[in-house]
Amino acid sequence: MARRKLIAGNWKMNGHLDHLRELHGIEKAAKTHPQVDVAICPPATLIAPAVARVPGLAIGAQDCHAADKGAHTGCLSAPMLKEVGAHHVIVGHSERRADQGETDSDVKAKAEAAHRHGLTAIVCVGETEEERDAGQAEAVVTGQVSASLPSDATADWLVVAYEPVWAIGTGRVPTLDDVATMHAAIRATLSDIIGDEAPGVRILYGGSMNGDNAAELLAVDNVDGGLVGGASLSADKFVPIIEAGAALA
Ligand code: 13P
C-alpha cells in the first residue's frame, strides 16, 4: 500500500522566538514537495507563534495530558493544543518515558486524548541498548506497540515512530536490515491490534537521521518517514531530509 511519507521534526526543549525564522525555509520546502507531509513539533511555548508565522506548515506538540482539564500543574491538554493550532502530538517519546516515568498505559491514554480532540498521535516506541544487546529488541518494541496503541486506532490519526533509544542524539543508527526487521515486526503487530487499518499506518524511523543517511533509511520497506531531532533545528539540515523523502515518493 502506498503511504505518504511524513518528515517530522521534534525540537525537544530547544528554541526561542527568534528560532522561528528557521521555519520559513522548511515551509518553502514543504510547499515545493507536496508529495510528502512535513511537520515541526517545537516547544509548547512556540506552537501558537509558529502557527501564526508559517500557516502552511503543520505544527505539532511534543506531549499532552490524558485528561482534558483539571488539577495537573504544568501540564497541557489535547484541547488546549488543538485550540492554538497544533495538528499533531508526539506521545510516549523515550525521553518522557525515562524522565517522567511514562508507562505504556499512560501513552495509550494520551493517544486517546489526542484523537478525541482531532490531533494526529505520533506514538513512540524503541528499545534501549541493553535490551538490544540482550536480544530483546523486537519483543520490547512489539510489546510497547501492543500496550501503547488504542485498539480503535485508525490510519488517519495514528502514526508510530520507532526510535531506538541508543540511536537518539548519538550519531549511531541501526543497520538497514535491523530497521527493516523492526518495522516489519511493528507492522505485523499493528495487524494484530487494528486489523485492516494496519497497512495504512505510517511507521517513522527516528534516531540520528540526517541529510546523509535519510535517503537510505527512508527507502527501507515499511519506513514511511522520519522523526528527526537535532537535524530538524535548522532549515539547512532539515530540508535535505524532506528532499530525500520527496525523491522516493
Ligand atoms: P535525533 O535525531 O537528535 O537523534 O533525535 C531523534 C528523536 O528523538 C526524535 O524524536
Tell me, yes or no, whether 1 lies in a domain.
no
Type of residue found at 11: W
Give the Å distance between the CA of 7 and the centre of ligand 1: 12
Q: How many domains does the chain have?
A: 1
**Can you give the pTM of this predicted structure?**
0.98
The three cell numbers locating residue 70: 483539571
Give the Å distance between the CA of 205 and the centre of ligand 1: 9
Of 145, 127, 6, 118, the closest CA to residue 64 belongs to: 118
- For ligand 1, mutation pick of 11, 208, 237 (most atoms within 8 Å of CB): 208
Tell me, yes or no, whether 108 lies in a domain.
yes
Type of residue found at 107: V
Pairing of strands 58-61, 88-91: parallel
As a whole number of angstroms, the distance between CA 27 and CA 33 comes to 10
Give the Å distance between the CA of 94 and the centre of ligand 1: 10
The three cell numbers locating residue 232: 530538524
- C-beta neighbour count of 147 within 10 angstroms: 14
Closest-CA residue, ligand 1 atom 5, reads: 229
Would residue 93 show up in a list of annotated catalytic residues for this protein? yes
As a whole number of angstroms, the distance between CA 229 and CA 222 comes to 20
* Ligand 1 pocket at CB < 6 A: 10, 93, 163, 168-169, 206-209, 227-231
Q: Where are the alpha helices (DSSP H) in 197-234?
A: 214-218
DSSP code for 71: S
- For ligand 1, mutation pick of 125, 228, 237 (most atoms within 8 Å of CB): 228
Would residue 127 show up in a list of annotated catalytic residues for this protein? no
The answer to whether 12 and 42 are in contact (CB under 8 A) is no
Pairing of strands 120-125, 58-61: unpaired
Closest-CA residue, ligand 1 atom 2, reads: 229
Output the domain CATH number for residue 167.
3.20.20.70
Tell me, yes or no, whether 215 lies in a domain.
yes
The answer to whether 132 and 164 are in contact (CB under 8 A) is yes
Q: What are phi and psi of 68, to 5 degrees?
A: -80, -30
As a whole number of angstroms, the distance between CA 47 and CA 86 comes to 7
Among 22, 95, 163, 183, the active-site one is 163
Closest-CA residue, ligand 1 atom 1, reads: 229
Tell me, yes or no, whether 153 lies in a domain.
yes
As a whole number of angstroms, the distance between CA 226 and CA 123 comes to 13
**Mean per-residue pLDDT pooled into runs of 10, the chain (249 residues):** 94 98 98 98 98 97 98 98 98 98 98 98 98 98 97 97 98 98 98 96 98 98 98 98 97
Q: Which atom of ligand 1 is nearest to the CA of 93?
A: 10
Expressed as residue numbers, the domain containing 22 is 6-248
Tell me, yes or no, whether 38 lies in a domain.
yes
Q: What are phi and psi of 107, to 5 degrees?
A: -65, -40
Tell me, yes or no, whether 231 lies in a domain.
yes
The answer to whether 30 and 56 are in contact (CB under 8 A) is yes
